[in-house]
Amino acid sequence: MILVLCETDPATGEVDEVSLETLALARALSTEGGGVAVRAVVVGPVADTDAVAATLGGHGATEVRHATGDGVASFGGAAWATALDAVRQETGSVAVLAGGTPRGNEVVAHLAARLAVPMAANVVSFEGLSPLTVRRQVAGGVALEEMRLSNRPALLTVAGHAWQAEETGAGPATWVESTVDVPAEELVARVVRTAERAADESGSLTSAPVVVGAGRGAGGPDGFGPVTELAELLGGAVGVTRVVTSLGWRPHHEQVGQTGSRISPDLYVACGISGAIQHWAGCASSRAILAVNTDPEAPMMTRATYAVVGDMHEVVPAIVEEIRKRG
The number of domains in the chain is 2
> Would 193 be classed as within a structural domain?
no
Q: Is the pLDDT of residue 314 over 70?
A: yes
Are 149 and 225 part of one and the same domain? no
Q: Are residues 231 and 106 in the same domain?
A: no
Selection from 37-41, 129-133, 200-204 with the highest mean pLDDT: 37-41
Domain boundary among 186, 219, 245: 186
Looking at the fold, whether 167 and 283 belong to one and the same domain comes out as no
List of residues 6+ apart from 58 with CB closer than 8 A: 167, 168, 169, 170, 171, 172
CA end-to-end span of the chain, whole Å? Answer: 51
**Order of all β-strands in the sheet with 289-293:** 237-240, 210-214, 267-271, 289-293, 306-309
Nearest to 93 by CA among 38, 19, 53: 38
Reply yes or no on whether the pLDDT at 108 is more than 80: yes
Instruction: Examine the domain organization and report whether 75 and 173 are in the same domain.
Output: yes
Do 29 and 176 share a domain, yes or no?
yes
Average pLDDT over residues 140-160: 89
Separation between Cα atoms, residue 58 and residue 226, nearest integer Å: 41
Q: Is 142 a residue whose pLDDT tops 80?
A: no
For the segment 174-227, what is each residue's pLDDT rounded down to a tens digit?
999 999 988 888 887 878 777 665 555 545 788 889 999 999 999 999 999 999
Does residue 218 share a domain with residue 181? no
Give the chain's mean pLDDT. Answer: 91
| Domain contains 197 | no
Same domain, 313 and 179: no
Under the banding of pLDDT at 50, 70 and 90, the label for residue 262 is: confident
- Give percent of the chain with pLDDT exceeding 70: 96
257 in any annotated domain: yes
Binding-site residues for FAD sit at 216, 241-242, 255-259, 272-279, 293
Provide the CATH number for the domain around residue 98. Answer: 3.40.50.620
CA atoms of 315 and 37, how far apart (whole Å)? 51
Residue where a domain stops, chosen among 160, 186, 212: 186
Answer yes or no: is 194 within a domain.
no
Burial call 281-310: b when 16+ CB within 10 Å, e when fewer: bbbbbbeebbbbbeeeebbbbebbeebbee
Q: Are residues 216 and 243 in the same domain?
A: yes
Q: What is the pLDDT of residue 175?
A: 97
* Same-domain pairing of 277 and 216: yes
Domain membership flag for residue 97: yes
Per-residue pLDDT, 194: 74
- Is the same domain home to 18 and 97? yes
**Whether 168 and 265 share a structural domain:** no
**pLDDT higher at 127 or 258:** 127
* Residues making up the chain, counted from first to last: 327
Domain that holds residue 173: 2-186
pLDDT tier at 240 (50, 70, 90 boundaries)? Answer: very high
How many CB atoms are located within 10 Å of the residue 187 CB? 16
pLDDT value of position 72: 92
Of 88, 93, 96, 140, which is closest to residue 120 (Cα–Cα)? 96
Supply the CATH number for residue 211's domain: 3.40.50.1220
pTM over 0.95: no
Same-domain status, 164 and 212: no
pLDDT at 189: 80
CA dihedral 232→238→244→247, nearest 10 degrees, is 60
Distance CA 207, CA 18 (A): 12
